[in-house]
Amino acid sequence: MAVATTDRKLFLGARMKRLRRELGLTQTRMAEDLGVSPSYLNLLERNQRPVTAQVLLRLAEAYDLDLKSLSSDPDSAGATGLSEVFSDQMFRDLGVARHEIAEVADSAPGVAEAIVRLYRSYLDQRRLTDLGAIGRPEEGGASSPSVIPSDWVRDFIQDQKNYFAELEEAADELVAELAYEPQEFHNAARERLAKRHGIQVRVVPLDVLPESVRRYDHHRKRLFLSEVLTGAGRSFSLAYQLAILEYGPMLDAMADRAGPPDRPTRALLKVSLTNYLAAALMMPYAAFHEAAERTAYDIELVRARFGVSFEQACHRLTTLSRPGARGVPFFMLRVDSAGNISKRFAGATFPFSRFGGTCPRWNIHTSFRTPSRIVTQIVETPDGQRYFTLSRTVSRIATPYAGDDSELAIGMGCELKFAERLVYSRGIDLRDPVATAIGPACRICERPACPQRAAEPINRTLTVDDFTKSISPYPFAAG
């Protein structure tokens, strides 16, 4: 495998230094691991020498790394987030160049993240003020929360690349103890709850749990599940309860170590970590990874093999980042028919706006016209990166109140270079594909002549005149 080329030198000093600090190593110790001198490592970390292919391979062998995590384009999530921040109108006069943004994100990722968090807090306050939820400062109104729990938790999970080795190890431990076949998880979990914890599981009518789908009665040791849950939903509820009972202290410790800013955020983080562990119990890493690879990532087939829902299988696919057994690095979105994003996960790069929605040209939105059918599309982002995507609708939990809004859409995708490993790409010319040009949210997208543009870019000037009708309703001057 080629890891470096003669015509492109790799300067990875900041990332090597960050890796060394994360591992708690001195320069001398890392130099020993890599078979180089401390002085040479010092030159590498200061970008005074390019990283050779040999050093990259030694890094991978010594620390069990995915080479892509070091040698990938520095215009990553950090640079993308900063690009969105500096496209705001308030920074227009600064003219911050992309290479400056990439340099800051690469050399000072903590500073980049701090800027992004501060900008998000500013947006939250402005949005709440516009909605009338808080008063304006000049009117003596109360200030908005410093952080929105769901945003904080989502960013924390993404910072971990949606992979938690500690939770995977815990799941493997319990799975080995239960010794069940994939389709037998429900019965194994129910038996474990009864014998180990003395808990009875009851499926109850909707009117008993009108506003929830799961409730645990601590005093009577009964787990109540709503009748509206599907089989996969009931299994997940059992897995969640089992995860809390078996690994509660570990989950508490992980939530505390993350350093959430307040109690609501910590509570949401613990629920998210427990959800991760529950999914790992239902879909053990090694077995799930093997099934995904053997079936060429046929989600329907894998879903049936483990007795899980389409959405549960998609979510699990974004977590396959175990060193030595990595899967295709997917990203995943869940949206409603109005375009609101309720889930956003990625095992690697994520091509969409951190602060806005998705591009209307991505067919996740049109998948509502073909319910339960998988539709594929190759998309190209403004930086020239191409992704293979697939979308499908899923149903919400069925209730008497569910009407036309009972469906959500799941969007999955990966970099085009991984598409040949997917069953969904068969028959598609991946070497010369037809790619749909998409962008981030319209307010920060600079693609010209887009007929679906909903607003002009906030860092560009409108060029509307009386004599010309452009393709886009909001033509703008080039930067």
Q: Smallest Cα–Cα separation from 147: which of 259, 225, 17, 56?
A: 259
Amino acid at 141: G
Whole-angstrom distance, CA of residue 127 vs CA of residue 288: 41
pLDDT value of position 425: 95
Give the residue-averaged pLDDT of 346-363: 70
What's the sign of the alpha-carbon dihedral 442, 448, 450, 456? positive
Which pair of tokens denotes residue 110?
């903590």
Half-sphere exposure of 64 (CA within 13 A, CB side): 7
Domain spans in the chain, listed from the N-terminal domain onward: 13-71, 97-146, 165-322, 328-444
81 closest CA partner among 171, 160, 155 = 155
The total of other beta-carbon atoms located within 10 Å of residue 342's CB is 10
Strands 222-226 and 321-322: unpaired
The CATH topology of domain 13-71 is 434 Repressor (Amino-terminal Domain) (1.10.260)
pTM above 0.75, yes or no: no
The pLDDT value given to residue 96: 76
Q: What is the rounded average pLDDT of the residues 375-393? A: 90
Residue 349 — pLDDT band, cuts 50, 70, 90?
Answer: low
Strand partners, 203: 225
Beta strands 331-335 and 407-415, pairing class: antiparallel
Question: How far apart are alpha carbons 197 and 246 in whole angstroms?
Answer: 9
pLDDT tops 60 at residue 134: no
Beta pairing, strands 436-437 & 375-380 = parallel
Query: Sorting pLDDT into bands at 50, 70 and 90, what band is 119?
Result: confident
Determine the pLDDT at residue 92.
65
Quickly state the pLDDT bin for 141 (edges 50, 70, 90).
very low
Q: What number is the average pLDDT over the span 242-266?
A: 95
Instruction: Please list, residue by residue across 390-416, b when 16 or more beta carbons sit within 10 angstroms of its beta carbon and e when fewer do.
Output: bbbbbeeeeeeeeeeeebbbbbbbbbb
Quick check: 478 pLDDT over 60? Answer: yes
List, for residues 409-458, the tens digit of each pLDDT value: 999 999 999 999 999 999 999 999 999 888 777 766 777 777 777 777 76
> Are 111 and 14 contacting, i.e. CB atoms less than 8 angstroms apart?
no
Look over the chain and give the mean of its residue pLDDT values, rounded to a whole number: 83
CATH class of 328-444: alpha beta
Structure tokens at 166: 């500690």
- Amino acid 399: pLDDT: 56
